[in-house]
Amino acid sequence: MQIRFHPSGIAEFQSSVLIETTSPAAKLKIGLFGLGTKGLEGTNEPFLKAVLDTLGFAINVGGAGLLGTGAQPVGDEVAAPRFKAASAAEVKLTPVARYSPQERIPYGYYTAAAEVEVGVIASHQYQALNPTTEPGAKPSFAAPAGEFGIFTSSTTHKTYTEDAKNAANATKHAVRTYPLKDRAGTPVPSSYLVCFEEAANGDYQDYVFTLSNVVPVAP
């Protein structure tokens, strides 16, 4: 087992399991990855890079610590205030990490005419990788005609992929979007990582989603 400690005290764990069969003879090595933290919330939380390293996304997020909240892109970030479908297939929106205060977090997509809730991250899944959702969450949705954005909703405010819609929030550039890559660094076609900043410290791991079958619409 390999253990890597970050300056913050967060530890990443990496190991593997070897599965062997005799009929037919075969071997399969499966990687095991984990993320240990000092505690819950605040400075106990892992930074975005550690979260993505554990999940298996080899993405340059712009640093190993806090990323700041300026609108200038960092790392592999792309300008993506809105999206459109890449094909006629449904768009897939999946929460893959959440490190924020404990409460229910509805999320979904919006157009100029409406906001549509797709699911709710469960209240008890407030410090977790691959957080579970409440019953009824949809793994995918039919893309609306034209452009759309992604939103989350807390008890105090909503957060949008468009900076202009976050004017009243603590952080205006509240979402950083990165082209999705697998653990080997290979780009995943028409897929992005959408990272939300709920407060103002610039960690961007409050709510993290993968979004597939989309193309960003440049501002």
Contacts of 8 (CB under 8 A, 6+ apart): 38, 43, 46, 47, 65
The structure tokens listed for 199 are 């407060």
Quick one: CATH architecture of 68-217? Sandwich (2.60)
Tell me whether residue 30 is exposed, middle or buried, using C-beta atoms within 10 angstroms of its C-beta: 0 to 12, 13 to 18, 19 or more: exposed
pLDDT of residue 14: 52
Q: Dump pLDDT digits (tens) for 101-160.
A: 999 999 999 999 999 999 999 999 999 999 999 999 999 999 999 999 999 999 999 999
Contact residues for 135 (Cβ-Cβ < 8 A; gap 6+): none
Q: Is 192 within 8 Å of 180 (Cβ atoms)?
A: yes
Nearest of 44, 29, 30, 23 to residue 205 by alpha carbon: 44
pLDDT, residue 19, reads: 72
In whole angstroms, give the CA distance from residue 210 to residue 8.
Answer: 26
Q: What's the rounded mean pLDDT across residues 68-94?
A: 97
Q: Where are the domains of the chain?
A: 68-217
Q: Would you call 8 exposed, middle or buried from its count of C-beta atoms within 10 A (0-12, 13-18, 19+)?
A: middle
